[in-house]
Structures are given as structure tokens and as C-alpha cells.
Amino acid sequence: MDHLITTKVLRAVWAPAPAAERIIEPLRAACALYSIDTPARVAAFIGQCAHESAGFTRLEEGLRYTTTKRIMQMFSRVRTPEQAAALINNPEALANTVYASRLGNGPPASGDGWRYRGRGIIQLTGRAAYARAEQDIGMPYLAHPDTVSLPSDACLTAAWYWFSNGLNTKADAGDHRAITRTINGPAMAGHQERVHLTSLAAGAIEEIQKGDV
């Protein structure tokens, strides 16, 4: 399987060279562990992950917003400009507001929204998701959530999420809409780019298999 995940494949999906070099070995290990081991599976996984992580450069959710308009566009729980104004350039307060009392988190004062903000390539978000990953993977993510931002665990949790949601089977069937829906929900945000990145990854893998490296 290692021969399917190369720097050429990662660069094909717009990963800068430093990000590709940093992520390639953890990515190979995680894919091997979760049977992401055929050209179709690897291409779909790499394509989706590249979109989710901005070419493997972003392993933690960006929560620093500079305008009330953008905050209200992104988070339905922020209902007034006055509420949004208090959250400008305040990522911790924003996370504790929009993620409170959901996703297994406690109320705003618990700090769970910030503590269990989105991390990883396919981002874990919320105490419940961290708990599930901890149980299945065997890593202490609840006590040490920042671990998920490390390349090793960012890849591991992404591959775990992929496998545990049956996305290998969807990749085998070429059902990329179902894959995007599983990862992103009904909004299907960025679906066309995800498909395009999957196609780029598949093309690079095909060239490698033909020996055109």
C-alpha cells in the first residue's frame, strides 16, 4: 500500500512539499491499519482529506473570525450582531458558545467547546467524538485533546473515522456523493472540489502504477 501514497500523490492534491513530507509516513501507517489499501480507496481518502485540511496544512479548526457577518454566516447559534461582535478575534469564546451543550459537550462555562474543538484531518469535534475515538483507538484523547493535532494522530483519527463510517465500501462503489455527505453532512460543502482532488489523486496513482514516476 505504501507505493500508492507517495509525495507525488500528495503534491497532486496541492499539498506543499513540507506538509507532504511531514504527513506521508503517518498517513501510510494509518491507511494500512484501516484497510485503505486499494487505488480507489486511497484516492478517495486522499482527495477528501486534502479538501478537509487545506492540502494537509491545517490540522486544527480555525476559529478566529474578524467580522460579525462571517461569524453569523458560519454559526447559526450566533443570532445577533451584538452577540457576534463579542466573539470577533476570540476563538475560545466562540467555540464555547457555538459548541456548548451539544456534541457531548457541557454548557459554555465547562470549556468543553474549546477543549474539544475540531482537530485532525477529518476533524474530531465535541467531547462525544473524542470519547469514541479514544475507546476505539486506545489513545487518551479526552485528557489530552491537543494530541489529535499531531500528524500521527491527525492521520490516525481520520482513517479511523473513514473506516468506522463504512467509507471504504463507498469508495469501492465510487459513491463520492455519499462520502462527502458522511463527512460534511447535508450541506455537501466543497463537493466538486473533493471530487476533483480525488480525480487528481487517482491520476497520480495510475501514473505510479504504470511506472511513470
Q: Could you tell me if 183 and 48 are in contact, meaning their C-beta atoms sit under 8 angstroms apart?
A: yes
The pLDDT of residue 169 is: 98
Residue 134 is assigned to a structural domain of this protein: no
Residues 74 and 109 in one domain: yes
Q: Which residues contact 68 (CB under 8 A, 6 or more apart)?
A: 81, 84, 85, 88
Residue 110, pLDDT above cutoff 60? yes
Residue 177 is assigned to a structural domain of this protein: yes
* CA 52/CA 164 separation, integer angstroms: 18
Residue 100 is assigned to a structural domain of this protein: yes
Query: Residue 211 — very low, low, confident or very high, per pLDDT cuts 50/70/90?
Result: confident
* Global pTM value: 0.94
* CA 176/CA 47 separation, integer angstroms: 10
The pLDDT of residue 3 is: 86
Give me the torsion for CA of 45, 51, 54, 55, rounded to 10°: 40
pLDDT (mean) for 73-94? 96
Q: Cell 480507489, residue?
A: 40
* CA 13/CA 5 separation, integer angstroms: 12
Residues 12 and 52 in one domain: yes
* 121-176 pLDDT, tens digit each: 999 999 999 999 999 999 999 999 999 999 999 999 999 999 999 999 999 999 99
The pLDDT of residue 213 is: 47
* 20-66 pLDDT, tens digit each: 999 999 999 999 999 999 999 999 999 999 999 999 999 999 999 99
Residues 19 and 54 in one domain: yes
Cα distances (Å, whole numbers) of residue 197 to 29, 51, 58, 113, 210: 21, 7, 16, 31, 20
The pLDDT of residue 136 is: 98
The pLDDT of residue 1 is: 63
CATH of the domain at 165: 1.10.530
Residue 72 is assigned to a structural domain of this protein: yes
Residues 93 and 191 in one domain: no
Residues 6 and 45 in one domain: yes
* CA 93/CA 198 separation, integer angstroms: 36
The pLDDT of residue 101 is: 98
Q: Could you tell me if 12 and 207 are in contact, meaning their C-beta atoms sit under 8 angstroms apart?
A: no
Residue 204 is assigned to a structural domain of this protein: yes
* CA 186/CA 204 separation, integer angstroms: 30
Cα distances (Å, whole numbers) of residue 121 to 153, 154, 155: 9, 5, 6
* CA 43/CA 201 separation, integer angstroms: 5
Residue 77 is assigned to a structural domain of this protein: yes
Residue 37 is assigned to a structural domain of this protein: yes
* CA 123/CA 183 separation, integer angstroms: 9
Residue 158 is assigned to a structural domain of this protein: yes
Tell me the residue range of the domain where 89 lies.
Answer: 68-115
| Number of structural domains found in the chain | 2
- Helices 151-164 and 39-52, axial angle in degrees (round to 10): 120
Residue 212, pLDDT above cutoff 80? no
Residue 198, pLDDT above cutoff 80? yes
